Amino acid sequence: MSFHGPDGTHCTDPLQLTGRRPVVDLAALGLLFAPPALFGEFYPASPWSGISLQPATFGGATSVAPPRVAFPAAVSTLIADTEVVAVKFSGGIDSLAVLAQVCRAGSSGRRVVAVTVDLVDDDGVHAADTARRLVHGLGLDCELVVIDPARCRPEISAPWSPVGPRLDALPQFNALVAEAAHTAGAGVLLSGDGADEVLEVPPFATTAIASARGLRAAARYVADMSGRGGGLLVELAAAAAPALPSAARARAYWALSWQDTLGQPASPVLADPFRGIAAEWASAWCTARTEGHIAGGGSWADQAAWDAVWPHDRLLPAGAVAEDSPFLAEAVLAAAQQLGAADRFDPGLPTPYQRCKAAVVELFEPAQRPWLPRHKQYFRHALARLTRGRTTTAERAIAAGLIDPDAWAANTDLAVTMMVAAVEDWLTGADAIGAHIPGVSP
């Protein structure tokens, strides 16, 4: 992303464009509570008055290399200039793919450090136990650093950024991971961020899979997607969609895929007039998205694969070590764009999780695949406990008139709670650098 000043100057650091005393744009912060931004992990606008934001976009690079070729090349590029590489390792298949590839690329003597926060998943399994089993099973030559969640204290925080509030769910834990990477002497900290969006099989792919792999594979896909919010009726609608006019087809796609989430009202914690501004922006954003699909055409599966990735802003670094994800490298994005929906699903894999992530499974050596995670780990309970256990006063956001104190006191929405915390932390940092916050600063 880049920021543009009123005179047309642009750069990646908005504070270079704001003048001597930057002014916070409260309406722009309020857009983060509209569903497209709240659930989409992207910045809808610059948080500074008078400064515009140019979102990150796909450069449209062409690539003949499939992901199994582009991904190792991306990893090699990211670690080329460092002797110590750290990997944020949750125990999931995406970060495992990164770790396995880094270990292969580092076989010439590069030191590899896997960092795992020992959260307990919703099935009661410790992340550290899963990480140890996978490192041993795949024979990965790396050090495993385990972080006890009890180390997360209020004084531990990720660095403030002028780009905007942090979009990661647990910035304190990410700060601990970054600290561990820094202590290990790592030159870069890699993650599996973006893998689900970039390579996972999209919904509405039954027709494509039936054509490429046969009716039995298509039936297995429908059954797998039924456990993920899809199902036969939705897939039948997608199969019938090509008979509709382009406008009706795009609107029906949006209604079935995104309307229940991105089409919802802005959070009631927003005070007036910011809630109305956010609602108006969200409506315009959804309309523009639908119009883009009308103009671009393509199947519902193609549109869903594109919508899963864009817009997408990279998470801000949580410490002193540079952070990146090979799944978001330009060459990997280009390779993923060339994958058809049927290329992302393999009916021969043993579990729905692996079948729907076949393009990620293919990144592993054949001998490693029997050890791969068979089910997705979820940490909803741990996330809820940690978020609710953190005291968020929203003092500056309330004083600025951005957050309604009564609605905030009654809020039970976890996503909103995390966003309020992120905005309050960011306003605290903006106040510390001397920025003007309307309603708060003199």
Bond preceding residue 44 cis, omega within 30 of 0: no
Q: Rounded to an integer, what distance in angstroms lies between the CA atom of residue 253 and that of residue 265? A: 20
Q: What share of the chain is helix, strand, coil (3-state, %, to 5)?
A: 50, 10, 40
Which pLDDT belongs to residue 257? 87
CA 184, distance to chain mean position in Å, is 26
Give every CB contact of residue 54 below 8 A, 6+ residues apart in sequence: 1, 2, 3, 4, 10
Q: Rounded to an integer, what distance in angstroms lies between the CA atom of residue 71 and that of residue 328? A: 10
Say what the pTM is: 0.93
Q: Rounded to an integer, what distance in angstroms lies between the CA atom of residue 319 and that of residue 326? A: 19
Would you state the structure tokens that stand for residue 34, as one six-digit string? 């509209």
Domains, the chain, in order of start with CATH, read 67-197+316-371 (3.40.50.620), 204-309 (no CATH)
The pLDDT-based confidence of 144 (bands split at 50, 70, 90) is very high
Among 417, 427, 367, residue whose Cα is nearest residue 397 = 427
Q: List pLDDT tens digits, range 200-237.
A: 999 999 999 999 999 999 999 999 998 776 778 889 99
Q: List pLDDT tens digits, range 270-312.
A: 999 999 999 999 999 999 999 999 999 889 999 999 999 988 8
The pLDDT-based confidence of 367 (bands split at 50, 70, 90) is very high
Which pLDDT belongs to residue 148? 93
Q: Rounded to an integer, what distance in angstroms lies between the CA atom of residue 375 and that of residue 351? A: 7
Among 300, 290, 298, 294, residue whose Cα is nearest residue 205 = 300
